[in-house]
Amino acid sequence: MGIQYKRILLKVSGEALSGPKGTGFDEATIASICAGIKAAHELGAQIGIVVGGGNFWRGRSSGKMDRMDADKIGMLATVMNALAVKDALRQQGVPAVVMTSSFMPQVAEVFTSDKAIAALESGKIVVFGGGTGNPIFSTDTASALRALEIGADAMFKATMVDGVYDKDPHKYSDAVRYDTLTFTRVLDERLAVMDSTAATLCRDNGLPIVVFDLGEPANIAKAVQGERVGTIVKE
């Protein structure tokens, strides 16, 4: 089977990397996720990855700390996660490089769209750390921005549920999963897909989003091939 999406941006939450521990890294979980990424890469997909930092830090729940400082700590947490994902990919024989939004040459290359696209075209997976490089903006917004900057065909949002629901499926047994949605409906009904800034960026630039369960890492390759997994959001 061929692939429907040649170049993708995969958003992985920080919490997903912590596995059952809930915080920090869980090596077995990261290895499993990276095996799913490897399978999609072997199909010929060019893959960029944005990782969150919630397994180490959540700026919005940082108490009395100044919001700007809290968000900067969160951005640094995403760099740690990016390095961990890069290392796990390399251990599985997948070429990968980290690019950061802020200048930290001892740690990783600084991001430019030209360098990222060149790396993707050479067969490397590019892991983006540091969010947008600015406080206030979420890693969902960073994902949408990087997806547009690298010319991705779609953004994949890998979550802990198997798509988008009309209400929290963990709390309500009658929650209904959507197969398809429009960004306008997501924004109007404030559905839990991503923040409004990220959703608006995707809508205004014609970037579809596929939301699926990362608990089944094989879903990444399935989604790349156009199989119906989770929810597709497009205008």
Binding site for ATP, residues? 11-14, 54, 58, 159, 165, 168
Mean pLDDT is lowest, of 105-119, 159-173, 211-225, for: 159-173
pLDDT tens, position by position, 142-159: 999 999 999 999 999 998
| Domain 7-233: homologous superfamily in CATH | Acetylglutamate kinase-like (3.40.1160.10)
Examine the pLDDT at 101 and tell me if it is beyond 90: yes
- State the virtual CA torsion across 215, 187, 46, 53 in degrees, nearest 10: -60
Q: How confident is the model at residue 35 (pLDDT cuts 50, 70, 90)?
A: very high
Domain ranges in the chain are 7-233
Token pair of 223 as six digits: 């989604």
pLDDT tens, position by position, 152-206: 999 999 988 889 998 888 889 999 999 999 999 999 988 888 899 999 999 999 9
Token pair of 138 as six digits: 């979420």
Binding site for UMP, residues? 53, 71, 132-139
Binding site, residues? 11-14, 53-54, 58, 71, 132-139, 159, 165, 168
0.85 cut: is pTM over it? Answer: yes
Question: What's the whole-number mean pLDDT along residues 211-232?
Answer: 94
What's 114-136 look like in SS3? HHHHHHHHCCCEEEEECCCCCCC
When comparing pLDDT for 137 and 21, which is higher? 137
Q: How confident is the model at residue 59 (pLDDT cuts 50, 70, 90)?
A: low
Q: How confident is the model at residue 2 (pLDDT cuts 50, 70, 90)?
A: confident
What's 153-220 look like in SS3? CEEEEEECCCCEECCCCCCCCCCCEECEECHHHHHHHCCECECHHHHHHHHHCCCCEEEEECCCCHHH
Mean pLDDT of the chain: 93
Examine the pLDDT at 30 and tell me if it is beyond 70: yes
Examine the pLDDT at 43 and tell me if it is beyond 80: yes
pLDDT, residue 65, reads 87
What residues does 46 pair with on adjacent strands? 7
